[in-house]
Amino acid sequence: MSLLSSINSPTDLKKLSINQLPTLAEEIREQIIDVTSKVGGHLSSNLGVVELTLALHYIFDTPNDKIVWDTGNQGYTHKLITGRRESFHTLRQFGGVSGFCKREESEFDVFNAGHAGTGVSAGVGVAEARDLLGQKHKVITVVGDGALTSGMTYEGLNHAGMIHHDSLVILNDNAMSISKNVGAISAYLNRTITGTFATWVKAEAKMVLKSIPRIGEPLLKVAHRAKESAKGLILPGLLFEELGFRYVGPIEGHDFDQLLPILEHVGKLSGPTLLHVVTKKGLGYEPARKDPVWFHACSPFDRSTGEPKKASTPPSYTSVAINALIRQAKKDSRIVAITAAMAGGTGLDHFAEAFPSRFYDVGIAEQHAVTFAASLASQGMRPVIGIYSTFLQRAFDQVVHDVAVQNLPVFFCIDRGGLVAEDGTTHHGAYDLAFLRHIPNMTVMAPKDENELQHMIHTGLTIDGPASVRYPRGNGLGVTLDHALIPIPIGKGELLSSGGDIAIIALGAGVAPAVQAAQRLKSEGIAVAVVNARFVKPFDAELITHVASEAKAVITVEDGALQGGFGSAVLECLADHDVNNIRIKRIGIPDIFVGQGPQQRLREQCGITADGIYRVAKELHPTFENVLVTS
Ligand SMILES: Cc1ncc(C[n+]2csc(CCOP(=O)(O)OP(=O)(O)O)c2C)c(N)n1
């Protein structure tokens, strides 16, 4: 019988001897590799924190003591030993275990995440609430070195240093964000764990072990400082010490002999402490060690080779967008591209290969990315930001205040617009249409297919002000890609078919199912007009009021939040133009947080499918005769 099969909670974990922990770690790695090879997931991050997670639950009294995981995508070991072992095979599946930490799922999940950089702030709040409520538990926040590129982490550290309550931040340093980590902080961390430094820092770790309460710590500090001033180097952890933290480390994150006693020790310290733990992303699975970037969030793969299980499919929206961008960048040297730690996901890694000096990965710093782009634009450049819809949420103010108010030509290539899939609630691109369409000066586009996308990329680069194009996760429809890129008339929709019974006004990923539904309805003798709106802003009021007033009922379709989204824009437009007495149904993401599952399954859930549109049309149909139609 495996050790893992006996672990239903950390109480069971604590029954194991320390010598059994490496075997358990091996079994857990095996389980994680097995499940992710079938369902995909955040493999490399998870393989890197197996020992750290076991050590934390071994030493601390969870769930009474609270572990807050930044981003929450590294919680697989945590899940396996906190009651979710038997359901773990449902990871990321519809209705199954989430790929992220989720309070709804377990009392061991203290704070939900999915976006990076929220951990320290969440930990500060949990510790402050504990003190206000007179409770006694420990608060441990685990953040990656990638999260240290996120401004929010410093806002949290700054506050923690000020409040000065007892709390432990564990810096899980694997030198990787999704890609290799970037920037000065990353270089700083690297300096603390390399060369001669590491030698005596390891010695320091031993001293911490042997440290005598109250005397050991000050002694260590003196030793540090003396050594450093002699060498003229920076103190390891000085940055964190200046922020009010006691810094301990770096320590080896895969060695229980170091992890367990040091965690026990730092858990007893008062005030804010930061423990620097060095881990290896992908440890235990050679393909993930070799390519931690692909295995950061991988699709299902063949275990024995590590090769992705892929059918041959049309090119992804991402690749079409970036190819078009590269083509335009060859002609215009003012075009530069910016990513916030998502070079691979947004396809901008290809741009980086083509134009290394015109590409910027600024780290998990969406706010900086947008203001940086705005300022480049203010000086005559043509910056393009490749960003997932969900992560653009973090930079809303910068879009308004720095880009739009100054009417600067920053072009947002918004990937993963609409329902994503297995990443679930925190990653759906539900809101971009709603939060961009009310900003003056902003152009908001969404293509019906990958061919239109490449033309929109070209179009966006011709606009002398803020512009965006949003496209879905996944592969295109398989349409032919035109060779020449031609700008689309700004603010003009496309009438795909005419018909006076019902008008389906669709946007982006809503267009293809609208066309299919219309074909089915037409085969039943119902006359259907279909509009590919293309633009949410400027809005094609002329076309849409015309088509709507010709029809007896209107259906709007979008792969975005209904509240304030494209359908709302249609309603506003019709009201503003006194097109009344038409039955209108809107299809899109309802006012709930949609969960995880295959993209098509989630679209079915929301009715953003040919079937869903057909059903709504049929519901409307019997009422046609009773409706007073404006014409
Ligand atoms: C705001 C935000 N931007 C981008 C991402 C995409 N993302 C997910 S994990 C990750 C890297 C995190 O690196 P690190 O904090 O070091 O954790 P690791 O996965 O290496 O353990 C990124 C960029 C995100 N989740 N949130």
Q: Which residues line ligand 1 (CB under 6 A)?
A: 45, 71, 73-74, 115-117, 144-147, 172, 174, 176-178, 281, 340-342, 364, 366, 391, 394
Residues 516-539: pLDDT tens digits? Answer: 999 999 999 999 999 999 999 999
Phi, psi of 434 (to 5 degrees): -70, -40
Residue 311's pLDDT is what?
Answer: 73
Centre of ligand 1 to C-alpha 469, Å, is 24
Residues 347/325, Cβ–Cβ less than 8 Å: no
Catalytic residue among 92, 138, 281, 537: 281
* Count of helices and strands (H, E) across the chain: 26, 17
Residue 624's pLDDT is what?
Answer: 59
CATH number assigned to the domain covering 497-626:
3.40.50.920
Centre of ligand 1 to C-alpha 171, Å, is 13
Q: Report the pLDDT averaged over residues 574-585.
A: 94
Q: Report the pLDDT averaged over residues 325-340.
A: 98
Q: Which atom of ligand 1 is nearest to the CA of 116?
A: 26
581 pLDDT band, cuts 50/70/90, is confident
Residue 336's pLDDT is what?
Answer: 98
Residue 187's pLDDT is what?
Answer: 87
Task: Based on the residue annotation, tell me whether 130 is a catalytic residue of this protein.
Answer: no
Residue 205's pLDDT is what?
Answer: 54
Residues 177-207: pLDDT tens digits? Answer: 988 888 888 888 888 776 434 444 445 555 5
Nearest CA among 117, 125, 115, 180 for reference residue 154: 117
Q: Percent of the chain scored above 70 by pLDDT?
A: 92
Residue 82's pLDDT is what?
Answer: 98
Centre of ligand 1 to C-alpha 55, Å, is 23
Q: Which atom of ligand 1 is nearest to the CA of 394?
A: 1
Cα–Cα distances in angstroms (integers) from residue 269 to residues 140, 211, 217, 278, in the given order: 12, 12, 10, 21
For a mutational test of ligand 1's pocket, the pick from 149, 176, 178, 366, i.e. the residue with the most ligand atoms closer than 8 A to its C-beta, is 178
113-145: buried (b, 16+ CB within 10 Å) or exposed (e) per residue? bbbbbbbbbbbbebbbebeeeeeebbbbbbbbb
The first and second tokens of residue 350, run together, are 């290809």
> Does the pLDDT of residue 228 top 60, yes or no?
no
Rounded Cα distance, 391 and 116, in Å: 9
- Asked if 317-470 and 497-626 have one fold, the answer is yes
Q: Provide the residue ranges of all domains of the chain, joining segments of one domain with +.
A: 4-192+237-297, 317-470, 497-626
Q: Which CATH architecture has domain 317-470?
A: 3-Layer(aba) Sandwich (3.40)
Catalytic residue among 366, 422, 450, 452: 366
Q: Report the pLDDT averaged over residues 401-408.
A: 98
Task: Quote the distance between the C-alpha of residue 500 and its chain's center.
Answer: 43
Nearest CA among 205, 263, 260, 267 for reference residue 236: 205
Centre of ligand 1 to C-alpha 364, Å, is 7
Q: Which atom of ligand 1 is nearest to the CA of 71?
A: 25
* Prediction pTM value: 0.92
Q: Is 323 exposed, middle or buried (0-12, 13-18, 19+ CB in 10 A)?
A: middle
Residues 155-174: pLDDT tens digits? Answer: 999 999 999 999 999 999 99
Which DSSP string do the residues of 518-561 spell out, in sequence order? Answer: HHHHHHTT--EEEEE--EEES--HHHHHHHHHHSSEEEEEEEEE
The first and second tokens of residue 487, run together, are 């700008």
Amino acid at 63: P
Q: Which helix (H) or strand (E) element contains residue 181? A: none
Centre of ligand 1 to C-alpha 189, Å, is 17
> Does the pLDDT of residue 616 top 80, yes or no?
yes
Rounded Cα distance, 528 and 554, in Å: 10
Q: Report the pLDDT averaged over residues 245-262.
A: 95
137 pLDDT band, cuts 50/70/90, is very high
Instruction: Identify whether 538 is preceded by a cis peptide bond (ω within 30 of 0).
Output: yes
403 pLDDT band, cuts 50/70/90, is very high
Nearest CA among 412, 422, 230, 217 for reference residue 321: 412
Task: Based on the residue annotation, tell me whether 309 is a catalytic residue of this protein.
Answer: no
CB 449: neighbour CB atoms within 10 A?
22
Q: Which fold has domain 4-192+237-297?
A: Rossmann fold (3.40.50)
For a mutational test of ligand 1's pocket, the pick from 120, 177, 278, 298, i.e. the residue with the most ligand atoms closer than 8 A to its C-beta, is 177
Residue 625's pLDDT is what?
Answer: 53
CB 198: neighbour CB atoms within 10 A?
15
Residue 524's pLDDT is what?
Answer: 94
Residues 291-328: pLDDT tens digits? Answer: 999 999 999 999 999 999 877 789 999 999 999 999 99
Q: Is 357 exposed, middle or buried (0-12, 13-18, 19+ CB in 10 A)?
A: exposed
Residue 219's pLDDT is what?
Answer: 45
Task: Name the average pLDDT for the chain.
Answer: 92
* HEC string for 37-87: HHHCECHHHHHHCHHHHHHHHHHCCCCCCEEEECCCCCCHHHHHCCCCCCC
Q: Report the pLDDT averaged over residues 389-408.
A: 98
Centre of ligand 1 to C-alpha 145, Å, is 9
CB 364: neighbour CB atoms within 10 A?
29
Q: Report the pLDDT averaged over residues 201-220.
A: 51
Task: Based on the residue annotation, tell me whether 394 is a catalytic residue of this protein.
Answer: yes
Instruction: Identify whether 466 is preceded by a cis peptide bond (ω within 30 of 0).
Output: no
The first and second tokens of residue 130, run together, are 């504990």
Residues with Cβ within 8 Å of residue 276, at least 6 apart in sequence: 171, 173, 189, 192, 193, 236, 237, 247, 248, 249, 250, 251
Q: Which helix (H) or strand (E) element contains residue 412? A: strand 411-415
The first and second tokens of residue 371, run together, are 């203001």
Amino acid at 330: K
For a mutational test of ligand 1's pocket, the pick from 46, 71, 361, 473, i.e. the residue with the most ligand atoms closer than 8 A to its C-beta, is 71
Q: Is 563 exposed, middle or buried (0-12, 13-18, 19+ CB in 10 A)?
A: middle
Residue 631's pLDDT is what?
Answer: 33
Rounded Cα distance, 205 and 258, in Å: 8
Residues 74/142, Cβ–Cβ less than 8 Å: yes
Residue 511's pLDDT is what?
Answer: 98
Q: Report the pLDDT averaged over residues 580-602.
A: 96
Q: Which atom of ligand 1 is nearest to the CA of 178?
A: 11
Minimal-distance CA residue to ligand 1 atom 17: 144
Minimal-distance CA residue to ligand 1 atom 22: 178
> Does the pLDDT of residue 233 top 50, yes or no?
no
Centre of ligand 1 to C-alpha 148, Å, is 10
> Does the pLDDT of residue 503 top 60, yes or no?
yes
Minimal-distance CA residue to ligand 1 atom 11: 177
Q: Percent of the chain scored above 90 by pLDDT?
A: 87
> Does the pLDDT of residue 1 top 90, yes or no?
no
Residues 422-435: pLDDT tens digits? Answer: 999 999 999 999 99
Q: Which atom of ligand 1 is nearest to the CA of 148?
A: 15
Centre of ligand 1 to C-alpha 153, Å, is 12
Residue 194's pLDDT is what?
Answer: 64
Minimal-distance CA residue to ligand 1 atom 26: 115
419 pLDDT band, cuts 50/70/90, is very high
Nearest CA among 330, 374, 375, 331 for reference residue 350: 330
Catalytic residue among 29, 79, 394, 473: 394
